[in-house]
Structure 1
Amino acid sequence: MNRDQLIRSLRRYARNRSIRFEVDTKKGSGSHYRVRLGDKVSTLQNDLNPGRIERFLKQLGVNLADL
């Protein structure tokens, strides 16, 4: 899963649960994005591997199976 696919999945997840979802491309440095899901915020990198995706989703309180 690449970054754009993950963002689309999170956007759909948030919309189905009526949770606020924002992606800020300006706040992160370089190729990093700041992602806000509800009241939780995390930084999303460009190069993703399964471990990074798991850590990122854990910080946001989302289970990978729910996407």
Structure 2
Amino acid sequence: MKREALIRELRALARKQNKDFEVFTNRGKGSHYRVRLGDRMTTVQSGDLSDLKVRTIKKQLGIL
């Protein structure tokens, strides 16, 4: 899954759950983004994300 596809999925989920969602493009190092969903925050790398990485990101944001 590409990073942009994951961000679209997270944005839709945030809308559905009525939570705040923000993407900080200037806070990560290099090409990494910081993502905040509700009161949780994590880092998302660029490019293709493995299934394990996507699951880890979702777990860190409290989705799984």
More helix by share: 1
Query: In angstroms, what is the RMSD of aligned CA positions?
Result: 0.8
Equivalent position SS for 1:42: strand
Mapped to 2, the partners of 1:18 and 1:56 lie a distance apart of: 19
Amino acid at match of 1:55: T
Alpha-carbon distance, 1:28 to partner = 0.2
Residue matched to 2:43: 43
Residue matched to 2:9: 9
Higher relative contact order (CA 8 A, sep 6+): 2
| Structure 1 unmatched ranges of 5 or more | none
Amino acid at match of 2:2: N
Structure 1 residue ranges, 4+ long, deviating more than 2 angstroms after superposition: none
How many residues align? The count is 63
Structure 2 length as normaliser, TM-score?
0.93
1:3-60, Cα deviation, whole Å (9 max, x unpaired): 0000001000001111000000000011100000000000001141111111111000
Residue matched to 2:61: 60
